[in-house]
Amino acid sequence: MKIEEVKVIVTCPGRNYVLVKIVTDKGIYGVGEATLNGRELAVAKVLQEYVGPYLIGKDPNNIEDIWQELFRGTYWRGGPVLMTALSGVDMALWDIKGKIANLPVYSLLGGKTRNKVRAYLHCSGESFEETLKKCEKAIKNGCTALRVTTGTPGYPDAEASAEDMKRLMKSEKITKLWEPAPYMQMLPKLLKYLRQELGEEIDLIIDVHSRLNPIQACRLAKDIEKYKPFFIEDPIRPEFKDGLRLLRSHTTVPIAVGEHYFTKWNCLSLISEHLIDFLRIDVSHAGGITESKKIAAIAEAYSIDMAFHGPLDMSPIGHAANVHLDMSIPNFGIQEWVFHDPKVHEVFRGGPEYYNGYLTVPDEPGLGVDIDEKAAKKYKYKRSYLPTLRREDGSVWEW
């Protein structure tokens, strides 16, 4: 069996997605996720001009060899663009292998270690009361783990709203103001309020978006410790590993990072030095299923659980890869989950299924997701930008 064609599909059913479809000379094909939010066409060009032609004639069964050749063969290795392209190819090859074997991908990864995957949902509002309403709605839908946030007093909500996303998809640039002090005062109050209203049984997660420096993160973690958050996500920039050591020494709040990391080598010191409790790599940026499985195995040896990144800018293909990994690894922690725009389900058939707080994947061969190429063509690519944050003094800050 040989790879005969590599298709790159760029579509925008509400969000931009870059997809890889690898077709073999036997008619079997596989699909993969290669979306890099805000830099989609950079990845698409790499796939079209370099990676795709390079794959023609290769045996799709040799996943590890293809992974090594694409990773090492660039000489300048890693980075978000090249690793996202590699991730899309890797997922598509696993999808093909599953179809050849007539088995779901999780079975090829060692089989089930669980029957369903616990998920958490996003609950964000402009006020404490609005956030509570969204939490209560999610709880009625069976969810017992919630990522919570609300607007910072005196500033627009730094989270991108639905209206913001519409503007961004019209190629508008959005700049919002943000300051750490009001944010650090607000979060403990929000967690106190939600604990009083929801009780102790619901797990609460906060995502700091890497916006604090190490001392600020230490202070915030100490202030929220009494409310027992499930974890604090991305409290500081990933480059500040010394800051994570400082944070670890000052709090018992579980720490989760990883969506900015691209290879096992990036993650190694975080794992081996016990600087984190949950590793949140993105399977569509970190080298696909092949590399993510290896990273999870390293983390297992240090009692660190996986909580794979699962944002809106990941299509059902990437989410399926997440859940297949979750089903197969022993050190699964929790899975981020979002509900896509109905237009997304015109383009994609299949994928993970949410029910009562948990995710499953169908027992179909491969990843269990397919692309309707005709529907994908209907939704043309739209240039979009990530929002920008600035401080009151005009300086750029972390989005």
First to last CA, the chain: 45
| CATH superfamily, region 3-103 | Enolase-like, N-terminal domain (3.30.390.10)
- Judge whether residue 352 has pLDDT over 90: yes
- Under the banding of pLDDT at 50, 70 and 90, the label for residue 174 is confident
Work out the average pLDDT over 130-159: 89
Work out the average pLDDT over 281-300: 98
Residues sharing a CB contact under 8 Å with residue 69, sequence separation 6 or more, in sequence order: none
* CATH 3.30.390.10-classified regions of the chain: 3-103
Fold of domain 108-366+385-397: TIM Barrel (3.20.20)
Share of the chain above pLDDT 90, in %: 87
Would you state the structure tokens that stand for residue 186, as one six-digit string?
């607000």
Q: Which helix (H) or strand (E) covers residue 205, if one does?
A: strand 203-207
Question: pTM for the full model?
Answer: 0.95
* CATH 3.20.20.120-classified regions of the chain: 108-366+385-397
Q: Tell me the per-residue pLDDT of 40-56, one tens digit each, with 9 for 90 and over.
A: 999 999 999 999 999 99
Work out the average pLDDT over 327-351: 97
Q: Percent helix, strand and coil across the chain, each rounded to 5?
A: 40, 20, 40
Q: Tell me the per-residue pLDDT of 216-269, one tens digit each, with 9 for 90 and over.
A: 999 999 999 999 999 999 999 888 888 999 999 999 999 999 999 999 999 999
Residue of higher predicted confidence among 59 and 262: 59
pLDDT, position 273 = 94
- Judge whether residue 35 has pLDDT over 70: yes
Residues sharing a CB contact under 8 Å with residue 387, sequence separation 6 or more, in sequence order: 160, 164, 168, 174, 175, 176, 399
Share of the chain above pLDDT 70, in %: 96
- Under the banding of pLDDT at 50, 70 and 90, the label for residue 89 is very high
The closest of 245, 386, 379 to 312, measured between CA atoms, is: 386
Question: How high does pLDDT run on average in the chain?
Answer: 94
Q: Tell me the per-residue pLDDT of 367-378, one tens digit each, with 9 for 90 and over.
A: 999 999 999 999
Q: Which helix (H) or strand (E) covers residue 52, if one does?
A: helix 52-55
pLDDT, position 168 = 56
* Residues pairing with 257 in the sheet: 279
Cα angle, residue 196 at apex, residues 195 and 199 outer, rounded to 5°: 60
Q: How far apart are CA 309 and CA 306, in angstroms?
A: 9
Work out the average pLDDT over 5-21: 97
pLDDT, position 161 = 58
pLDDT, position 399 = 82
pLDDT, position 159 = 60
Q: What count of other Cβ atoms lies within 10 Å of the Cβ of residue 258?
A: 26
Work out the average pLDDT over 99-115: 98
Work out the average pLDDT over 141-147: 97
